[in-house]
Structure 1
Amino acid sequence: MKNRLIYLLCALSLIPIGLATRTFGTEFMKLYVGDALWAMMIYFGFKMLFPQKASAFWYALVFCYAIEISQLYHAEWIDAIRKNRLGGLILGFGFLWSDLVSYLLGILGGYYLDKVGQESFLSCD
């Protein structure tokens, strides 16, 4: 239970940081860092759901890539969701190859922080 709470807090803490990059960040931050932080949040969300599974990395990567690929699909109903601020933040607006790289880097960053945190936690016992 303790790990789930830590993963939840990690995921939730990334939301205001990611939103800040979209609002106050440089163009680079808006284009790449926000997407990487979103993917890192997704990684920690999957770790919260499956704390013992090493496959959270792959779950997060497939999820993020599926969202990005879904941006190639344009129907009235899904574009209406994307026009809403929350819907746009979750589903995105248009497919970009660079987003796939940002997602991979964000998930790798989350995985790295997770491993470093676990090692630090274990060494304190």
Structure 2
Amino acid sequence: MADGGLFFVSCQYRKKVTRLKERIRYAAAALAVMALGFCSREFAERLPAFFAEHAGDALWAAMVYFIVRTLFARKGLIWSGHVSVIFCFGIEFSQLYQAEWIAGIRSTRLGALVLGTGFVAIDLARYAAGIGLAMLADKWPSGRLQTRA
């Protein structure tokens, strides 16, 4: 009986350590993608035109995906993708609202990075592409799509 209890505790500990490693990996991915996003804006004139025009928004959405995975590591890949799309699309559609108080927030650098400045329909496709690529990168190491809810 005592051996079974010890095994149970050992398994629980291993699961927690594995989950922590997973969260660290997702947080590192979010930071790496964030750095790439900043670079895509800062060095846009040195990049191919297509990449310079579209990469920033796609990378922002990929960063959102990896943050969602960091915060909700127990949820599956598909769930995280859906939440990320809803969040990114929600932010984009919120840009249709241009009250003075939120325009003031958006006029700051941080406000513009987080909330954007104005609705642009093509951004929705960029977000979908960024999240899709992040999901593929997430799926690639394990070779399978995690569908747990």
Q: Does 1:35 align with 2:20?
A: no
Q: State yes or no: 1:107 paired with 2:107.
A: no
Equivalent-residue separation in structure 2 for 1:64 and 1:33 (angstroms): 15
Q: CA deviation at 1:117?
A: 2.1
The superposition leaves residues 26-77 of structure 1 with CA deviations (integer Å, 9 ceiling, x where unpaired) of: 4533431100000000000001111121201000000000000000000111
Unaligned runs of 5+ in 2: 1-19, 145-149
Structure 1 residues 81-114: Cα deviation after superposition (integer angstroms, max 9, x where no partner)? 1110111011001111110000000000010000
Q: TM-score, normalized by length of structure 2?
A: 0.76
For this pair of structures, how many residues does the alignment match?
120
For the pair 1:92 / 2:116, whether they are aligned, the reply is yes
> Which residue does the alignment assign to 2:88?
64
- Relative to the length of structure 1, the TM-score reads 0.90
1:14: which partner in 2?
33
Unaligned runs of 5+ in 1: 121-125
Partner of 2:24: 5
Partner of 2:66: 44
Of the structure 1 ranges 19-28 and 5-14, higher mean CA displacement relative to structure 2 is found in 19-28
1:79 paired residue number: 103
**Match for 1:88: what amino acid?**
A
Q: Judge conservation of contact 1:22–1:29 (CA < 8 Å) in 2.
A: no
Q: Distance in 2 between matches of 1:38 and 1:98?
A: 14
Q: Which has the larger radius of gyration?
A: 2
Secondary structure at the aligned position of 1:89 is classed as helix
Identity level (%): 42
How far apart are the structure 2 equivalents of 1:84 and 1:56? 29
